[in-house]
Amino acid sequence: MPSTTETGRWAEQQVANLIVRRGGVILAQNWRTRWSEIDIVATGRYGIRFIEVKYRRSTLYGSGFEAILPDKRQRLVRAARAWLMINGRSDGWAIDVVSVFGSTKQFEIEYMANAIQGDTL
């Protein structure tokens, strides 16, 4: 049985594959600051997307979306702004949250675009 870290990385890769299939470009994966980690940084027709991926075996105890509490939101915003500054980018941006649930053999992906708006924070 894979560890939770391995399963989380697997879920992140499934989301990265989806982004590429939809025409996006992956700029970074597992980018870290001392405050937080950004699972995926991608760009596409809607600017830069900072993507938080949450994996759950089931939604019995809630979805991955419910795991993004206010303190996590603040850490993600801080990390996103740091990435933009370090990389000299001023594009429009937002933070998307993606919930992956099920098994590694049969799973579903729910994508919440603009879960946290970058230009209004």
Please give the residue range of the domain that contains residue 11.
4-69+78-117
pTM: 0.87
Q: Is the sign of the CA dihedral 103, 109, 110, 116 positive or negative?
A: positive
Which band of pLDDT confidence, cut at 50, 70 and 90, is reported for residue 117? low
What are the tokens at 14? Answer: 């499934």
Number of domains composing the chain: 1
Q: Give the CATH number of the domain where residue 29 resides.
A: 3.40.1350.10
Q: Is the pLDDT of residue 22 over 90?
A: yes
Strands (E), the chain: 25-32, 37-44, 47-56, 93-102, 107-117
Which helix (H) or strand (E) segment holds residue 7: the answer is helix 4-21
Could you give the C-alpha distances from 72 to 37, 52, 75, in angstroms and in order? 10, 10, 5
Q: What is the average pLDDT across 75-87?
A: 94
